[in-house]
Amino acid sequence: MWTHQGLLRVAEELGEVSGKVEDDLGLILEHNGIVHGEPKLFGTYLWTMRVDDDTPGAPGVDCPILVRIPHDRGLTVVTQNLPVAIAGRSYRAQLEAVGGDGEIKWSEYGASHLLEDVLGLRFDATGSLVGTPPVGVLQGDDEREFSIMLRAQDERGRIGIGVVNLVVKAAPERRAEPRVEDDVGCQAGGGGPMGGLVLLVGLALLRRRRS
């Protein structure tokens, strides 16, 4: 006779932690040892089962069995290039994945912390990439390009891995507005009020001489 004793998820990727699973795996263990059903979760599990026989007084034996339910790679990260970010300015970008079910959760893949530690970016509750890249990330250059490995996971545990590129540029310099001089005081140009007065006086003198 076979009976369920416990289920432990085994960490497979960097950043994952092994731990006890309370959720329904979706598989049913019959007393005769037959396992059937449709898996609801994905990953690697250590399923502990107890085996008893009909020998009077014989103790049962706990058997840990490794169960691998492969990830459905139908979830694909579509985004390859993110919109350009300006160092020192607020940034927001929405990533896209296809093939998943329900809400998609985004995170940086692996042990790298390029997004938060270097670029000052994170994923908010809506799945958008938000934050403000610091000016120092450019290291004195006008622009720099970063390749970031991201992990997308849907509500059924399907996982998609993709690499996206982000270009960070320096803020454009502000050009000084041309200064406009006021028409105040004496001006040498003929278009000012003083030039018009001189012209009128010259015409008056010319008329007197002719007369």
- Domain 76-169 has what CATH class? mainly beta
Cβ-contact 138, 118 below 8 angstroms: no
The two three-digit tokens of residue 194, written as one number: 């003083």
Sheet strands (E) in the chain = 2-10, 19-20, 27-29, 35-37, 43-51, 61-69, 76-77, 85-86, 91-94, 97-98, 105-108, 121-123, 128-131, 143-153, 159-169
pTM, to two decimals:
0.52
Which residue type is seen at 74?
G
Q: Any long-range contacts for 62-66 (C-beta under 8 Å, 24+ apart)?
A: 62/5, 66/10
Higher pLDDT, 52 or 173: 52
Q: Where are the domains of the chain?
A: 2-69, 76-169
Residue-wise pLDDT for 95-149, tens only, equals 999 887 888 999 998 777 899 999 999 999 888 999 999 999 999 999 999 999 9
